Chain A
Amino acid sequence: MIAQWPLVIASVCLAWGAGLFASLCAASLAGRAPRARIGAWVVAVILLLAGALGFMLRTSHWDRLFNSFAHLASPITQELICLVIVIALALVYLVAYRRSEGEVPAPVSAAGIAGAALLVVTVGRSAIVPATTPALGQVMAVVAACGAAFALGPMSFELVAGITDRQSRKTALGAFSAIGGGVGALTTAGYLAYLQAARSAAVVGTGRGVEFGVDPTRPQASIATKASLLPFGGECLPLAIAAIGCAVLAFAFALAACRKGVRPALVAMALVLAVVSFTLLLVVFFMTGTAGAGAAAF
């Protein structure tokens, strides 16, 4: 199927914003980069609100928006509840920051990290359409989202720190941006490898799949080949390779930034590549079809 771009963009923004907010809270706990905190806070909130806006734009009945909180078992409802909680925690963080002149109490920062982590878990569950995905696939999807947030968050914080404190030659969060980049690359490759293995083993790989047919509602659409259901097959192959390649390059740039001291250009490059990688991961998921059985598509 085609990529659901509003869902993709909203998921990327939410994971990114949650990762940055968690990084901000971690920096507060560690007493690092005091000059970067308010700037990071602003960027994190903007990203979270962008994700919320992406969801709102997806709906067609704004007058019924609060109906979205009705079905608690729905991953989307859980995601929205977590988003509201994280935004509330962000506001609490800001109030605490202003009252304590930049020294946020540890419980507030810890709650911010926990809330952001929970939000990323719900992003993973809702973005990868869990209802028809095998249980392992749901776990892998959450891991992929967490890996992306772990890459995007510290990299973003380093970028903000690099811009706000040009005198410093030390990284704001130590090697976390590089570690996050490495984790992000591993989880991206891992999820795509899992999807490849799971789809290959599915019915379509047994040779009994549809070889030829017609959908009269789309008479000019050709039948999808078995390869098109695989991330490393058909038209998804370059996207899947690009997703992994961008994640690896993001790690490389982040590592270089850590070793050479804060270089905003290097960190910015790492961040852009990490964003592109996560976006492509979600696009590949949608393009290979969301059905867990990995069915052929007309």
Chain B
Amino acid sequence: MTQYAIVTDLNRCVGCMGCTVACKVANGVEVGSYWEKLLRIGPTRKPNYVHTNDVEMYYLPIHCQHCLNAPCVSVCPTGASKKMDDGTVQIDKEQCIGCQACVPACPYGVRYLNETTNVVEKCTLCEQLVEQGGLPQCVEQCGGRARFFGDLDKGIETFEAPAIQYDMDRESADHSYESQQQGCRVTLGELAEPYADSDVYTLDDAGNGPAVRYILRNREWKDGVSFA
């Protein structure tokens, strides 16, 4: 069984919003809809707060969590929202009637009605790219190399992100980007700083089982982050 997901190392995330922009560009997301958005959590006082400098914060990218028991799939009257074999939740736009029952059903507020096509849309984990062996654009374009994509069933250490390596043959006549890029990948296990199991979090779970993971070290994870 496959469960594709994304893990974000929040200690690496710099809040550049490259993920948000990349998603908008890659998927043609409408103005006002945010398949991927970045929240800033904090600044909040550290447990040992004494001085005003004793504060901490982190950035939190939010998108469809591709839940194991997705409530949007349960409530959809047409079956347009489906849990696919690869573990992602996708919307069949030919079946969707735009009733928006799934919009309040989602605990994370990541579904939006496209007012042009009148169907509901959300993060697809760039299935059109993943099918061809690529990576979701938010992972591909992450400015801090904080996001990794893979199969949750194989462990988050195996999740991958781009690792650009170049053929540094400067004598070659062909200096194009395409000829130099080797298209390598790096895994979370190879790149990330050590973390404990207690450093791995999910968004609030109301029984829906969000698949997306977040790593946060040396800061207090704030529960109750959501989205109206």
What range describes how many residues of A lie at the interface?
35 or more
Residues of A close to B184: CB separation below 8 A: none
Q: Helix, strand, loop or mixed for chain B's interface? A: loop
Give the contacting residue for A71; candidates B71, B77, B205, B207; CB below 8 A: B77
Residues of B close to A2: CB separation below 8 A: 228
A68 touches B207 (CB 8 A): no
A298 to B228, CA, bound (A): 7
Tally of contact residues, B, Cβ under 8 A = 50
Most buried by B among A70, A209, A295: A295
Let me know if A134 is at the binding interface, CB within 8 A. Answer: yes
A61 touches B118 (CB 8 A): yes
Give the contacting residue for B97; candidates A67, A214, A291; CB below 8 A: A67
A71 touches B228 (CB 8 A): no
B76 touches A74 (CB 8 A): yes
A204 to B227, CA, bound (A): 14
Within 8 A of A (CB), among B4-41: 17, 34, 37-41
A190 to B77, CA, bound (A): 29
Minimum C-beta distance from B138 to chain A (A): 15
Let me know if B226 is at the binding interface, CB within 8 A. Answer: yes
A289 touches B228 (CB 8 A): yes
Within 8 A of B (CB), among A112-150: 126, 129-134
A296 touches B225 (CB 8 A): yes
Residues of A close to B205: CB separation below 8 A: 293
Within 8 A of A (CB), among B91-118: 95-101, 104-109, 113, 118
- A contact set with B: CB distance below 8 Å: 1-2, 4, 7, 55, 58-61, 64-65, 67-71, 73-77, 80, 126, 129-134, 202-204, 206, 208-217, 224, 226, 286, 289-298
